[in-house]
């Protein structure tokens, strides 16, 4: 594998302990070692950069197969149409679980078990999380699923790796008893009350409850009740204890919605991709089940596909009495997902709520883009906005970034305007502002694809010292208003 060093300030795409953190897959090396992969590899116009067609399911499946074999010593396959996982992204989730378990925020469960035990909700035919967790960490797993095909191929993948057979159990979910949690969550307006600002963009953010956020943006799936097969309650056996559960939930409400991204082809059946109410309803049921099972798990976790859903789900967790909630983000190429974790165990370590710290990362969803509008159009508008306020900005179309530098004087002028508008109480002014000792502010704005018509716009400070407290937040909020006014159909 070729070694690729990360540039200073470059946005992280993998966990620091991920095998691919500074050593991404080299398609040319893999093609030379695996003749079955070679036909899918071609080269860019300059003839130097090997690529594959990400819209070709056979190519993505073969890439997953050779990565698992070459880098993890695993034998693996799935039939046509089943969900094909990306190995680097799935490894990120495993390493984040490792971080949660190694922290001393939530005490370890004292019992007779000598190793970590996890529960994979909807393991699928690919059985990717148990295979990676067992091979990388030596963890034990129960992987659950409902369809015959998923269970058959999960078992086949397990039998193809006999060295892991004692670590992994594949468990069938009883389809005859639809999930019906006793603890229903109320979505009525105003139910959650009000709380202070929460940093959803800090990968290490820990939210100490109960402090539910107010004025939440609501996805159309919110309020729909999951009425499918059991998820945890009815599948976890009486007396069983687990260190964690994990889940790659059905993100979508319809197959049409699931197939909107023309740039990738990862397969996926209706059972894997879709449920009424989408991911919000599915993860809400996990929360409801966790209320009943409570301390049967040290950590409950799930992946989340939409940031608007993440905020709603966090509110529900405060409502049901979670003692801690943690979030992170998983970035793969131009796609961003979030990790959500919570526990009901008493905390063993006092923490400072994230809203007490200065925000270094902010983001928002830019929805309602027209078909002819692309991420580059948005980045060009970002560059124009900062140029209009006198800042220096540079667009990198290859990395989908705009790097911005504002002088201390410009920051001071912006905050002075803010004060004159009668909003100084929203953003505190630092001592440096009053003394006139101001340094430049450097920040980066990045754009990630969510689904067609929706982008995630993220801003990150590239320095520790902030010239004027609150200036970054205000500037980014102004940028949000400008972009939504220009691109979001709902605001026109």
Residue numbers in the known binding site for S-adenosyl-L-methionine are 90, 122, 145, 248
Cα–Cα distance measured from residue 160 to residue 178, given in angstroms and rounded to the nearest whole number: 32
Residue whose structure tokens are 């001592």? 431
Query: What are phi and psi for residue 325, nearest 5 degrees?
Result: -130, 135
Known binding-site residues equal 90, 122, 145, 248
Question: Parallel, antiparallel, or unpaired: how do β-strands 140-145 and 168-172 relate?
Answer: parallel
Kindly report the CA angle at 189 between 185 and 190, in degrees rounded to 5? 95
Contact 434, 416 (CB under 8 A): no
Q: Which of 269, 261, 259 is nearest to 82 (CA)?
A: 269
- The long-range contacts involving 329-334, CB below 8 angstroms and separated by at least 24 positions, are 329/201, 329/203, 330/89, 330/92, 330/93, 330/96, 330/303, 331/11, 331/12, 331/13, 331/448, 332/13, 332/86, 332/88, 332/89, 332/92, 333/13, 334/375, 334/400, 334/447, 334/448, 334/449
Contact 413, 467 (CB under 8 A): no
What are the strands, taking DSSP E only, across 189-323?
206-207, 242-247, 297-304
Helix H or strand E encompassing 454: strand 454-461
Residues paired with 169 in a beta bridge: 142
Q: Which of 253, 452, 446 is nearest to 368 (CA)?
A: 452
- Residue 35 has which token pair? 């003749």
Contact 174, 234 (CB under 8 A): yes
Contact 129, 100 (CB under 8 A): no
Kindly report the CA angle at 295 between 291 and 297, in degrees rounded to 5? 95
Contact 447, 480 (CB under 8 A): no
């Amino acid at each position: 594998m070729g070694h690729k060093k990360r540039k200073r300030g470059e946005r992280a795409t993998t966990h620091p302990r991920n095998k691919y953190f500074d050593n991404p897959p080299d398609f040319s090396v893999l093609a030379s070692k695996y003749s079955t992969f070679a036909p899918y590899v071609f080269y860019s116009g300059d003839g130097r950069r090997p690529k594959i067609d990400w819209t070709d399911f056979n190519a993505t499946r073969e890439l997953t197969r050779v990565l698992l074999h070459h880098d993890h010593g695993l034998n693996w396959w799935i039939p046509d149409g089943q969900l094909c996982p990306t190995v680097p992204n799935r490894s990120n989730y495993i390493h984040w679980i490792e971080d949660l378990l190694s922290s001393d925020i939530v005490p370890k469960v004292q019992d007779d078990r000598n190793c970590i035990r996890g529960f994979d909700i909807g393991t699928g035919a690919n059985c990717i999380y148990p295979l990676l967790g067992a091979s990388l960490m030596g963890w034990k797993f129960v992987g659950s699923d409902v369809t015959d095909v998923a269970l058959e191929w999960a078992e086949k993948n397990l039998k193809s790796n006999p060295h892991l057979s004692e670590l992994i159990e594949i468990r069938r979910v009883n389809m005859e008893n639809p999930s019906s949690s006793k603890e229903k969550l109320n979505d009525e307006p105003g139910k959650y009350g009000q709380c202070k600002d929460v940093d959803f963009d800090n990968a290490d953010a820990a939210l100490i409850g109960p402090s539910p956020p107010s004025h939440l943006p609501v996805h159309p799936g919110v309020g729909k009740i999951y009425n499918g097969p059991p998820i945890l309650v009815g599948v976890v056996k009486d007396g069983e204890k687990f260190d964690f559960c994990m889940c790659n939930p059905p993100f979508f409400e319809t197959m049409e919605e699931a197939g909107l991204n023309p740039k990738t082809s990862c397969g996926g059946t209706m059972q894997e991709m879709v449920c009424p109410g989408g991911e919000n309803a599915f993860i809400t049921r996990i929360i409801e089940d966790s209320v009943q099972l409570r301390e049967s798990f040290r950590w409950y976790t799930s992946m989340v596909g939409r940031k608007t859903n993440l905020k709603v789900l966090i509110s529900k967790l405060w409502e049901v009495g979670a003692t801690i909630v943690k979030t992170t983000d998983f970035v793969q190429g131009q796609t961003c997902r979030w990790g959500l974790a919570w526990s009901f165990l008493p905390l063993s370590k006092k923490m400072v709520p994230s809203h007490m710290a200065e925000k270094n990362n902010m983001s928002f969803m830019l929805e309602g883009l027209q078909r002819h509008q692309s991420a580059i159009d948005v980045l060009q508008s970002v560059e124009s906005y900062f140029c209009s306020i006198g800042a220096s900005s540079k667009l990198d179309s290859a990395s989908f970034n705009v790097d911005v530098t504002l002088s201390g004087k410009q920051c001071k002028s912006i905050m002075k305007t803010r004060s004159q508008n009668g909003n100084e109480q929203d953003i505190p002014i630092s001592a440096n502002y009053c003394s006139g000792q101001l340094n430049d502010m450097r920040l980066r704005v990045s754009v990630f694809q969510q689904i067609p018509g929706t982008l995630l716009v993220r801003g990150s400070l590239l320095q520790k010292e902030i010239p004027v407290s609150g200036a970054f937040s205000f500037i980014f909020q102004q940028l949000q208003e400008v972009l939504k006014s220009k691109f979001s159909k709902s605001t026109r």
